[in-house]
């Protein structure tokens, strides 16, 4: 998913609930793109920085050098990254203890005679070793483009209503 979506989506949700903490919410939103730095390490994307052990270590460091509130903010952004990356092949949530990607194939389907589309989720578990066979775009995916369009629409509607 695109870095911009990883930052904007959780930050906008948090700003709606914590409008008093704008500075902290925006500053810590940078944690939302931290896991994607494993892109620059060969055969490591969605593995070494995309798991609960890595998140725990980062949150513990934030807690030690800062405070509990900032540790909660950083864990929120880091976990949001893993959730937004859930689309196939998913992420290696339990690496290095479980060397598989856990992800979902998400399809929007319509059933004959029913005009309302439905989401179909198929859980896919892929061995990490399989991921070396394909290369995926870090910056563009179907779901992320859809989220980005929704965010832009929401911002446009908000500003049109304000005027
Ligand atoms: Zn990622």
The confidence score (pLDDT) of residue 139 equals 59
C-alpha 36 – ligand 1 centre gap (Å): 5
CA distance 28 to 158: 24
Q: What are phi and psi of 103, to 5 degrees?
A: -150, 175
123: left (phi over 0), alpha (psi -120 to 50) or beta: beta
Place of tokens 């807690």: 63
State the residue range of the domain holding 109. 3-162
The confidence score (pLDDT) of residue 75 equals 97
Check whether 136 has a pLDDT greater than 60.
Answer: no
125 DSSP assignment: E
C-alpha 80 – ligand 1 centre gap (Å): 10
C-alpha 163 – ligand 1 centre gap (Å): 37
The highest-confidence range among 31-40, 111-120, 140-149, by mean pLDDT, is: 31-40
C-alpha 120 – ligand 1 centre gap (Å): 22
C-alpha 161 – ligand 1 centre gap (Å): 34
CA distance 159 to 163: 7
Check whether 127 has a pLDDT greater than 80.
Answer: yes
CA distance 107 to 87: 10
Domains contained in the chain, number: 1
Instruction: Write out pLDDT tens, residues 71-111.
Output: 999 999 999 999 999 888 889 999 999 999 999 988 888 88
Q: What are phi and psi of 34, to 5 degrees?
A: -55, -45
Copy the structure tokens of residue 70. Answer: 């900032």
Instruction: Write out pLDDT tens, residues 1-60.
Output: 688 889 999 999 999 999 899 999 999 999 999 999 998 888 888 999 999 999 999 999
């Amino acid at each position: 998913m695109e870095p911009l979506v990883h930052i904007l989506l959780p930050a906008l949700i948090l700003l709606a609930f914590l409008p008093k903490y704008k500075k902290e919410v925006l500053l810590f939103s940078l944690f939302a793109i931290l896991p994607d730095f494993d892109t620059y390490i060969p055969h490591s994307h969605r593995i070494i920085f995309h798991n609960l052990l890595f998140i725990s270590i980062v949150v513990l460091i934030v807690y030690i050098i800062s405070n509990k509130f900032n540790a909660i903010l950083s864990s929120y952004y880091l976990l949001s990254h893993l959730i937004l990356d859930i689309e196939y092949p998913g992420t290696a949530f339990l690496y290095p203890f479980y060397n598989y990607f856990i992800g979902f194939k998400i399809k929007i389907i319509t059933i004959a005679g029913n005009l309302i589309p439905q989401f179909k989720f198929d859980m896919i578990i892929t061995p990490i070793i399989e991921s070396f066979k394909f290369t995926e775009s870090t910056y563009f995916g179907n779901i992320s483009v859809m989220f980005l369009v929704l965010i832009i629409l929401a911002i446009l509607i908000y500003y049109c209503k304000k005027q």
